[in-house]
Amino acid sequence: MPNIHTGLYCLTNDAVLEWTIALLESVRIHEPERVTVLIPFDDRTEAIRSLVQRYNVQLFEDNSVLRELDRIGTRFSNQHFHVRVFRKFAAFWGPLEHFVFVDSDVVLLGSLQEIFDEYRASGAEFVGNDPDVNQVYKAGPFRDQMMSNTGAEAFNGGFFVASKNLFSLEEVDRLSIEAEPINQWFSDVGGEQPFLNYCVHARGLKYESIGDLVPDTSVWTWAKQRVRKAGKIYRLGKNGGPEDGKRLPYLHWSGIACNPGMPNRRIFLRYRLHRMPWHARLRYRFGALIQWWQKYWKPKISRKLSSVLNGRLHRRVAA
């Protein structure tokens, strides 16, 4: 069985560690023997190092490559998060010949073997999903040139299939210099996603979506969609749309907070709580509700009450 490199970018705060644990549980359920490498989001690696032995994963530790990618990221942003996500490019120079890169806020819903096999058979150089061009380029002549004139397709940077050395580090550096003056046409979503799309489009790489390779799988995987389970398979519910009923190979909570109000939380909890005994699961759920109340609802209600009371006070003074 060929190896798949499941790359992650990880913060050491509680929220991202929650995502990472759920992802790794899903990997070990659906891909128990697959070689998996974590790419640290920054130099704080104590938390993710604690996961290495538990899930039999590796840690990408070529700091010279990571520092160079941080430097490239600063060409497009001065925000810590948007700079550090450029570290996912390290997957192109990691230990595996062919790989899937997966963001930490993803869970696998089945084996990736079919996708990987079709990728190898297709001759595609790069495979992605979630083709929302508005999350890549702003509307205008630059987007028209990149998308319409070249026939390129947009993709989300949180899940892609590629091979080692598809890009060299020197080439990524050169493309970043080339792209810096046109950064104004990159989507405000920020981070590496517009630039990664640009790299694929500028190179004219042969691109396929997962839906192209495996026609009964959905090209849309964002968690803010209706998902239904049929037997052991998760399917997309689109109310009669063209993607209705198609299989979901994974689910992606991009831009969504990890709390009891998140969409499709039952799927997240299936993996996050997988190894826990029943009493630990109850304690986790109860603790999450308390934390959600303290961090979100309590301040929100306090602000609302304060606004109402201040409004009444002002009306009394005016009277």
List, for residues 114-156, the tens digit of each pLDDT value. 999 999 999 999 999 999 999 999 999 999 988 887 788 999 9
- Band the pLDDT of 237: cuts 50, 70, 90: confident
**Alpha helices, DSSP H only, in 134-192?**
141-143, 169-179
State the CB neighbour count (10 A cutoff) for residue 258: 20
Q: Could you give the CA distance from residue 4 to residue 101 in angstroms, rounded to a whole number?
A: 9
- Band the pLDDT of 43: cuts 50, 70, 90: confident
Instruction: For residue 3, give both structure tokens.
Output: 């190896």
Instruction: Give the class (CATH, top level) of 6-272.
Output: alpha beta
Residue 39 has pLDDT above 70, yes or no: yes
pTM of the model: 0.90
Selected residue with higher pLDDT from 240 and 233: 233
Kindly report which listed range (105-114, 158-167, 254-263, 294-303) carries the lowest average pLDDT score: 294-303
Contact 57, 37 (CB under 8 A): yes
Question: Which amino acid, residue 83?
Answer: V
- Band the pLDDT of 283: cuts 50, 70, 90: very high
Range 68-95 average pLDDT: 94
